[in-house]
Amino acid sequence: MDFSVTPLTPELGAEIRGLDLRKPLDDTTMARVRRIWLDHVIVLFPEQDIDDDQQIAFSRQIGALEMINMAALQVPGKPEVYRATNLDQDDNFMPIDHPVMQTNRDNQKWHTDSSFKHVPATASLLHARIVPEAGGETEFANLAAAYDALDDATKEQIDDLIVVHNFFWSRKGVDAIAFTEEEKAAIPPVRHPLARVHPETGRKVIYIGSHAEKIEGMGWEESRALIDRLNEHATQPRFTYRHNWCVGDMIWWDNRAALHRGLAYDATGQKRRLHRTTVAGTGPTL
C-alpha cells in the first residue's frame, strides 16, 4: 500500500496519510509502518473514521491487548477500550467530583501507560471521537532522545539504578474512591531500570514519569530530586510534541520510549471523548 510520511518535529513523531485503518494492513505495509513508529516514537494517522471494533482489530495487528483494570473507565462490553472522557455513557457531563474526573486530572501529569505493571505496556493508540473547542491537547516526550542528550556523568550515575513505579503514588486522589480492593491488589509497586534498554531499537531511555516514586538504594530526598531533575530534562521543548486533536485523529505511541500527558480544558462546559487501546508488553524489564 502507498502512503506518505511527514515528520512532526526534528526529534519526535511522524504523520502517515493514505492508509485506511478500517481495513487490516497487509504484512509488508504493517512492517513498514512499525519501522516508522519505532524510528519516530509516535505516529499520527489523521482522518480515521473507525469504530471500537476496528480500533481493536488494528491494535491487535501490533500485539496482544491489555484489558482496562478500572471498570468505570471501560467501554461497556469492550474491556480492551479505555474511555478518556469527561462524559458518562450517554455523553452527558459527569459531575466535577466524579472519581473519573479526578483520574482525568491526574492524567495531566507526564506518565507512560502501565509503567506501574510488572510487564509494562508496549504501545497505546488513542482515537479522537469528540474534542473540545479549546484545550485538551496531548503532549508527548521522546525519552530516548532525552537519554542521548544527558551528560556522561549523569548517564554513568543512572545506568545501573532501579526505580520503583507505583500507581497509587501518582494517583493518590483516586485511591480510596475509584478502585475496589481487588483492583488495588492487581497493581502493587514494581521495579524497573531507570535507564531502560528498548527491546526493539536497543536505545536507552530514561524510564520515568509520574508513576516513578523512588530509586532503590537512595534516601528519599536524593531520590526525588534525581527523578524530578530527569523528568524536567526529558520534557523540555526540544524533546516534545503537542497535538491539537481533530475528530478522527489516531495517534499510536511507544510506551517504552515516550512520556505523554493530557492538557487541561473546560471539563464542565466542553465535551471530550477519546478511545484508547493498549498493546501489552512482551516481558518484564528486569
Q: Which of 16-20, 21-25, 171-175 has the lowest mean pLDDT?
A: 171-175
Helix (H, G, I), strand (E, B) or coil at 186: coil
Distant-in-sequence, close-in-space partners of 66: CB < 8 Å, separation ≥ 6:
80, 114, 121, 278, 279, 280
pTM listed for this prediction:
0.95
C-alpha cell belonging to residue 73? 473507565
Whether residue 130 is predicted with pLDDT greater than 50 in this model: the reply is: yes
Is 182 part of any domain?
yes
Mean pLDDT of the chain: 94
Whether residue 38 is predicted with pLDDT greater than 90 in this model: the reply is: yes
What's the mean pLDDT in 38-57?
Answer: 98
Give the model's pLDDT for residue 198: 98
Distant-in-sequence, close-in-space partners of 76: CB < 8 Å, separation ≥ 6:
89
Is 285 part of any domain?
no
pLDDT-above-70 percentage for the chain: 98
C-alpha cell belonging to residue 52? 471500537
Whether residue 252 is predicted with pLDDT greater than 50 in this model: the reply is: yes
CA 224 to chain centre: 22
Q: Which of 24-28, 186-190, 214-218, 231-235 has the lowest mean pLDDT?
A: 186-190
Give the model's pLDDT for residue 178: 59
Residue type, 64: A
CA dist 274 and 85 (Å) reads: 6
CA 109 to chain centre: 11
CA dist 262 and 136 (Å) reads: 6
Whether residue 114 is predicted with pLDDT greater than 90 in this model: the reply is: yes
Alpha-helix residue ranges (DSSP H) falling in the chain = 27-40, 52-62, 99-106, 143-148, 152-158, 167-170, 175-178, 181-185, 220-234
Q: Which of 87-101, 134-148, 173-187 has the lowest mean pLDDT?
A: 173-187
Domain count, the chain: 1
Give the model's pLDDT for residue 175: 47
Give the model's pLDDT for residue 179: 65
Identify the domain containing residue 105 by its residue range: 16-279
More confident residue, 74 or 209: 209
Give the model's pLDDT for residue 273: 98
Is 5 part of any domain?
no
CA dist 243 and 191 (Å) reads: 31
Whether the CB-CB separation of 104 and 84 falls below 8 Å is answered with yes
Residue type, 129: R
Give the model's pLDDT for residue 73: 84
Is 219 part of any domain?
yes
Whether the CB-CB separation of 243 and 139 falls below 8 Å is answered with yes
Is 147 part of any domain?
yes
Whether the CB-CB separation of 87 and 130 falls below 8 Å is answered with yes
Whether residue 234 is predicted with pLDDT greater than 90 in this model: the reply is: yes
Whether residue 173 is predicted with pLDDT greater than 70 in this model: the reply is: no
Whether residue 68 is predicted with pLDDT greater than 90 in this model: the reply is: no
Q: What is the CATH number of the domain that holds 150?
A: 3.60.130.10
More confident residue, 181 or 156: 156
Using CA atoms, how far residue 32 sits from 4, 147, 155, in Å, is 12, 26, 32
Is 91 part of any domain?
yes
pLDDT-above-90 percentage for the chain: 86
CA dist 39 and 142 (Å) reads: 11
Q: Which residues pair with 123 in a beta bridge?
A: 254, 279
Is 10 part of any domain?
no
C-alpha cell belonging to residue 40? 519516530
C-alpha cell belonging to residue 141? 516526550
